[in-house]
Structure 1
Amino acid sequence: MTRGNRFQAPVIEVRLLREGLVESTHRVQAVVSDVRGRVLSVAGNSETATFVRSSLKPFQALAITTTGTLERYSLNDRDLAIICSSHHGTIEQARQVFNILWRCDVDSSALQCPTPEGKQSPLQHNCSGKHAGMLAVCQQRQWPLNNYLQYNHPVQKLVLTQVAELMKMPGEEFIRARDDCGAPTYLMQLRQMASLYAQLASGDNLAMERIVRAMTHHPDMIAGEGAFDTTLMRLSEGELVSKAGAEGVQCIGRVGEGLGLAIKVMDGAHRAKYAVAIHLLKQLGWISPTVSETLSETFMKLSSFKRLEVVGELSMLY
């Protein structure tokens, strides 16, 4: 889905090679923007719109960092990191979510994210941290707990207001839908996602700076061992903040420089977005050759017989 073609360039292709022969091809669009929303480089159409999905989580967490909820319940950076996460549901991660609820005196039965197949509790759902954070804000503000996912609930209105302020557009103009966990997500252009991550990583906002610190200092909470976000943030040692979204969405901010990268694989393949992210981070000079090689070994060499190849690059506009 696109809206206009103000900034457009050839798309990037990711090819799955089986013993050197092309077996599958994915088309990918990507944008780099700054904190003012200016498009600096692009592959595809900068105004391609898609649901931001879990890449929205650091901005949903602003409801935590701007309301005194962290201080009220003595929540720490590991708690904040799990609030921003799409975690693997490990015992350690589920316990971290439980810690949030325990500290704000909310029973885990209040979580309205589903119990994953084969699991015993909604605490193990990959979005449970986000839900626990929303419940903590509701408890701190004395808002109802039983309908916190409704569009018109005060906590969802707060999230929307804060995101709208960052994007400098009226909240009523947002197109919204339910994410798989039941919480609202929003339709955004790639250039808008990239600008949000530029703002997140800029260091100009104390509430967002704390979110970045929590994510980069505790990457094990953000996804888990072997996951792209965790691996990238660990290897980049605080220079990049990264958060994946479903259906081929990946967003990355260059910490301290006010630059953001947003990626969308048009067929939703997660393997392709990681390959493109590595390729573009190398092109941009955001990772070293050593980090690029390490990431490529993990996320581009799929087996002894299969590997991913990226064809194309960002077109620089400035």
Structure 2
Amino acid sequence: MTRQNTPAPLTEIWRGSLLESQHHGHAVVCNGKGEIVHSWGNPDQVIYPRSSCKMVQALPLLTSGAAARYGLNSEQLALACASHNGARIHVDRVSRWLDQLELSEGDLRCGAQMPRDKEVMHGLIKTDDSPCQIHNNCSGKHAGFLTLAQHLGAGPEYVEIDHPVQQACHEAFEEVTGETSPTYGIDGCSAPNFACTVTGLARGMGWFASAHTRSTRSDEAAVQLRAAMAQHPELVAGEGRACTALMRDMGGKVSVKTGAEGVFVAILPEQELGIALKVSDGATRAAENAIAALLVSLGVLDKDSPSAKAYMSAAITNWNGIHCGEMRPAAELQF
């Protein structure tokens, strides 16, 4: 473990006997009290959590009473926290959710996106059809926003910063991170994304991890959301994705979530620990590698599991299938 102001080595790319590339960044592990247990790089680095904080954005959906009013189930709560592939299991459920609200695809504000799921994507291409907003990887989160907006009797432009939905998200974000957000940016799905330190994000995940030790409405909501994610890993991301593979291999005991530009978080309820990391150059491969390494080090992911082998010690092969090297966590990251 290192404690410094500059980014620390997180992931190494080896080709033969040469360290060919290296990804640096920041990582923090916090306990349920918000205290730093481990850190690498600069714990005070200010970042955008991007999609890694969707479970925080979903808190008002439950604490407001909206989820109970509309009878949302655990699958819908998982989708509210998801960055999904746009597979049939995702788009069909989001479509039914909108029907339940007596709303349509046009009420979403996330924008149309070509689905990552190959079957659905190829189907659109073959029929010369265009993707719609339900295919957007954030459509579940936005269905949650619409549910909250309808519950509050608020207007349709729910992604605006002064809208009651986003004001509720802002309040929840600052509550769980224990910080006053210094700024916000507009995410890929058009919703505001509030900034915090890496420590603040890890503190928030530690708060989620220890929520079962408390009994406020927010704590009960946190338990429901983290449980929904762990129970439905295929809805949080999808086949071929790190979030889904890691949660499956940890048997529902840990919830993890990726975010754009090299962010990854984890919620460990049994240890009452939260993890947050940010890769400085935004590399997804490094974020996946680093989170897998930390989960192995903390004893919740078997180093011989399929996901650990795929993301922590990934072999590098060329087009002829020849083994050329490997991606591995930096020695500094392991403890």
TM-score, normalising length: structure 2: 0.86
Contact 2:81 2:141 in 1 (8 A): yes
Task: Name the counterpart of 2:194.
Answer: 186
Of 206, 230, 246 in structure 1, the residue corresponding to residue 260 of structure 2 is 246
Deviation of residue 53 (structure 1)? 0.3
* Partner-residue secondary structure (3-state), 2:82: coil
Of 135, 138, 147 in structure 2, the residue corresponding to residue 127 of structure 1 is 138
Could you tell me the percent identity over the aligned residues?
31
Contact 1:82 1:130 in 2 (8 A): yes
**Deviations for 1:186-240, whole angstroms, at most 9, x for unmatched residues?**
1111111111111112223111000011100000000001211111111101221
Give the Cα–Cα distance (whole angstroms) in 2 for the partners of residues 165 and 15 of structure 1: 36
Deviation of residue 281 (structure 1)? 1.7
Give the Cα–Cα distance (whole angstroms) in 2 for the partners of residues 167 and 190 of structure 1: 10
Contact 2:266 2:276 in 1 (8 A): yes
Unmatched 5+ stretches in structure 1: none
Deviation of residue 290 (structure 1)? 3.0
Contact 2:26 2:277 in 1 (8 A): yes
Is 212-221 or 157-166 further displaced after alignment?
A: 157-166
Give the Cα–Cα distance (whole angstroms) in 2 for the partners of residues 40 and 284 of structure 1: 11
Task: Name the counterpart of 1:263.
Answer: 277
TM-score, normalising length: structure 1: 0.90
Task: Name the counterpart of 1:207.
Answer: 221
Q: Does 1:312 align with 2:331?
A: yes
Q: Does 1:175 align with 2:186?
A: no
The one-letter code of the counterpart of 1:154 is P
Q: How many residues align?
A: 307
Task: Name the counterpart of 1:56.
Answer: 53
Of 279, 288, 292 in structure 1, the residue corresponding to residue 293 of structure 2 is 279
Closer, same or farther: CA 302–255 of 1 in aligned 2, 3 Å: farther
The one-letter code of the counterpart of 2:172 is Q
Q: Does 1:198 align with 2:206?
A: yes
Give the Cα–Cα distance (whole angstroms) in 2 for the partners of residues 142 and 106 of structure 1: 14
**Deviations for 1:85-109, whole angstroms, at most 9, x for unmatched residues?**
0000112201111122111111210
Of 297, 300, 304 in structure 2, the residue corresponding to residue 290 of structure 1 is 304
Give the Cα–Cα distance (whole angstroms) in 2 for the partners of residues 27 and 15 of structure 1: 9
Give the Cα–Cα distance (whole angstroms) in 2 for the partners of residues 223 and 315 of structure 1: 26
Closer, same or farther: CA 296–302 of 1 in aligned 2, 3 Å: farther
Deviation of residue 77 (structure 1)? 0.5
Closer, same or farther: CA 45–168 of 1 in aligned 2, 3 Å: closer
Is 39-48 or 281-290 further displaced after alignment?
A: 281-290
Contact 1:263 1:273 in 2 (8 A): yes
Deviation of residue 302 (structure 1)? 4.0
The one-letter code of the counterpart of 1:235 is D
Q: Does 1:116 align with 2:128?
A: no
Task: Name the counterpart of 2:19.
Answer: 22
Give the Cα–Cα distance (whole angstroms) in 2 for the partners of residues 65 and 37 of structure 1: 23
Deviation of residue 280 (structure 1)? 1.8
Deviation of residue 148 (structure 1)? 0.7
Unmatched 5+ stretches in structure 2: 115-120, 122-129, 318-322
Deviation of residue 9 (structure 1)? 8.4
Task: Name the counterpart of 2:74.
Answer: 77
* Partner-residue secondary structure (3-state), 2:33: coil
Backbone CA RMSD of aligned residues: 2.1
Give the Cα–Cα distance (whole angstroms) in 2 for the partners of residues 66 and 244 of structure 1: 24
The one-letter code of the counterpart of 1:209 is V
Give the Cα–Cα distance (whole angstroms) in 2 for the partners of residues 305 and 6 of structure 1: 33
* Partner-residue secondary structure (3-state), 2:79: helix
Deviation of residue 12 (structure 1)? 2.3
Of 163, 169, 178 in structure 1, the residue corresponding to residue 173 of structure 2 is 163
